[in-house]
Amino acid sequence: MITGIGVDVCEVARFARACERRPGFARRWLTDAEASMPMHSQAARYAAKEALAKALRIERGLGWHDAEVVFDEFGRPSFVIKGSVQARADALGVTRIHVSLSHDAGIATAFVVCEA
């Protein structure tokens, strides 16, 4: 059963400008591994975390480092969650989180589906 869906888009250039204006901006949202990626990948991960927050219906209190986008050996993205994100997922009965990322034409997009 689907318990939540979320989608988010992020303009890569706007994300890059935010990172330039505010040192540490990317580190606030992204794990060290995510922040070491190219800017379009960072923007996609930011969008993924926003989409996850929407799917989990989180208004505040999300620890952004408690969710990390990783890839399996076939290049499929997934989330590794812990802490505040895991607690919210558990409260909703979420047993599986699906994520899809894309970036093209200067836009990064993420779509998340949570299942119980």
pLDDT digits (tens, 9 = 90+) for 21-53: 998 888 889 999 999 999 999 999 999 999 999
Q: Over 80: is that where the pLDDT of 101 sits?
A: yes
CATH number of 2-115: 3.90.470.20
Over residues 69-84, mean pLDDT: 95
Residue 23: per-residue pLDDT: 81
Over residues 53-70, mean pLDDT: 90
Q: Over 80: is that where the pLDDT of 60 sits?
A: no
DSSP state of 70: E
End-to-end CA gap in the chain: 5
Q: Which residues have C-beta within 8 Å of that of residue 24, sequence separation ≥ 6?
A: none
Hey, what are 80's tokens?
A: 């590794």
Contact 44, 9 (CB under 8 A): no
pLDDT confidence bin for 62, thresholds 50/70/90: confident
